Amino acid sequence: MTRKTLTTTAGAPVSDNQNSLTAGPQGGVMMQDYQLIEKLAHQNRERIPERVVHAKGWGAHGTFTVTNDISQFSKASIFGEIGKKTDMLARFSTVAGEMGAADAERDVRGFSLKFYTDEGNWDLVGNNTPVFFIRDPYKFPDFIHTQKRHPKTNMRSGTAMWDYWSLSPESLHQVTILMSDRGLPPSPRFMNGYGSHTYSFINGDNERCWVKFHFKTVQGHKFLTNGEAADVVGQTRESYQEDLYGSIDSGDFPKWKVFVQIMPESDVGSTWYNPFDLTKVWPHGDYPLIEVGEMELNRNPENYFAEIEQAAFSPSNIVPGIGFSPDKVLQARLFSYADAHRYRLGTHYESLPVNAPKCPVHHYHKDGSMNFMGQQSGNPDAYYEPNSVNGPVEDNSQAEPALAISGAMDRYNHRDGNDDYRQVKALFDLFDDGQKSRLFSNIAAAMQGVPQEIIDRQLVHFDAVDMAYGNGVRKALGA
């Protein structure tokens, strides 16, 4: 087989890729060996900042297929006719661990999806849990600090975690899921995904309803105990990558059934919980799951860095028919995720092949570092707007219906009168004896070394859910 000629990045043939250019056999190296300099300079730049959260990830390409007509709720073209297929990308991740962290660690899993719809990219940046630890974005950096390394010891701190959680009862729902079997799946294939936030749907009559997204694993739920996970990590730190990549490579494509819960716009105010509170679910009894479609992952990336590490998901990427909600944490993430990618990948991260929409793009953003696509208005003379040179213009028909918002501007205490226990009790009551016993022992293990006053403060919360919860943890702690 004839082999291709090695070239410089500028395309010229390289004559020697083994020996540097030197003055005599012993050296020194000549400055004019520009290929040596190029190689070393590129090597120094092989890393980009890892994500502050969700650094360790695994992903694949796939297909979303519509199986049920939900056009009465949303006009989004992705939900078009039954059988319609849309290309998509998924990236799963742990939250706390760095890029080199072991996969089989107890943690919430990121469940990020990018749908390349014919009306733009729709990103759903969710988790494998339907709720989260916080309900006010002020607490996002604080909570994440508790999951990261202590500034002095450079180790993770159980004390910081339980100190924060015990002072933040809104975290209890998510803490209970994290410490339950669902907190440690053996691979992304065996976990559900949730949009977690409340979003909105807009239908063809420009009517809004509220929506939550659910992705239910077709592979079924599996979990690892702490002991099993320790064995896995002792064997391999890449158990998720091996399982996800391996199953797709062998033609065993993982699937998720996609459902929505729909809440009429007028129901807001009539439920005992705030439907925009990220620490609450909508009970299925009140808002049943409605089938939408199926998601299948069927193609491994050709290059992990280009297609998964450089994948940039942001909840701000919506399409006509899908909108936001007043959820305070969602509102903050609309800024913070896109901003993270500007920092991590650069101004034009949306134009990287894995992030670029598959539909035409026309905007007036100009220049900036690494602009390789020129003026994207579709017309070199149209670099401002309004213009009389036939540049792209807005489409008023895409305007969402007005949303009535009321109330005086203030800082409202999100913990005042908020029942942080009722839905945790509903979850606790779903667990059988084995699940409860593993919940207690997982919590006790995570509390090792934590000062007693912090443990006591947290036990008060468990007791408030159910005395059996608090007492189960006490027993597991050996108290």
- Which residue is at the shortest CB distance from ligand NDP? 427
**Site membership for ligand NDP, residue 169 (CB under 6 A):** no
Strands in 103-251 per DSSP E: 109-117, 120-127, 193-194, 199-202, 208-217
**Site membership for ligand NDP, residue 130 (CB under 6 A):** yes
**Site membership for ligand NDP, residue 419 (CB under 6 A):** no
With contact defined as beta carbons under 8 Å apart, do 290 and 260 qualify? yes
For the beta carbon of residue 195, count every other beta carbon within 10 angstroms: 22
- Exactly one of 171, 187, 192, 279 binds ligand NDP (CB under 6 A); that residue is 192
- Exactly one of 148, 156, 216, 342 binds ligand NDP (CB under 6 A); that residue is 216
**Range in contact with ligand NDP (rule: CB under 6 A) among 87-95, 178-186, 357-365, 452-460:** 178-186
**Range in contact with ligand NDP (rule: CB under 6 A) among 148-156, 300-308, 385-393, 420-428:** 420-428
Residue 128 beta carbon to ligand NDP: minimum distance, rounded to whole angstroms? 9
Q: What is the DSSP string of 20-65?
A: --BSSTT--B-TT-HHHHHHHHHHHTS--PPPSSS-SEEEEEEEEE
**Range in contact with ligand NDP (rule: CB under 6 A) among 114-122, 145-153, 179-187, 321-329:** 179-187
Residue 262 beta carbon to ligand NDP: minimum distance, rounded to whole angstroms? 12
**Site membership for ligand NDP, residue 218 (CB under 6 A):** no
**Site membership for ligand NDP, residue 279 (CB under 6 A):** no
Return the ∠ at Cα 236 (arms to 232 and 240), rounded to 5°: 80
**Site membership for ligand NDP, residue 281 (CB under 6 A):** yes
- For residues 370-383, b (16+ Cβ closer than 10 Å) or e, as one string? eeeeebbbeeeebb
- Exactly one of 182, 197, 237, 341 binds ligand NDP (CB under 6 A); that residue is 182
Exactly one of 61, 121, 127, 461 is catalytic; name it: 127
Cα–Cα distance for residue pair 300/292, rounded to 1 Å:
25
> Interhelix angle for 433-446 vs 158-166, to 10°?
120
With contact defined as beta carbons under 8 Å apart, do 440 and 476 qualify? yes
DSSP code of residue 306: I
Which CB sits closer to ligand NDP, 65 or 435?
435
Tell me if residue 127 is catalytic: yes
For the beta carbon of residue 397, count every other beta carbon within 10 angstroms: 7
Cα–Cα distance for residue pair 181/436, rounded to 1 Å:
9
Residue 282 beta carbon to ligand NDP: minimum distance, rounded to whole angstroms? 6
Tell me if residue 341 is catalytic: no
Exactly one of 17, 19, 42, 54 is catalytic; name it: 54
Q: Which residues bind ligand NDP (CB under 6 A)?
A: 130, 177, 180-182, 192, 216, 281-285, 423, 426-427, 430
Enumerate the active-site residues: 54, 127
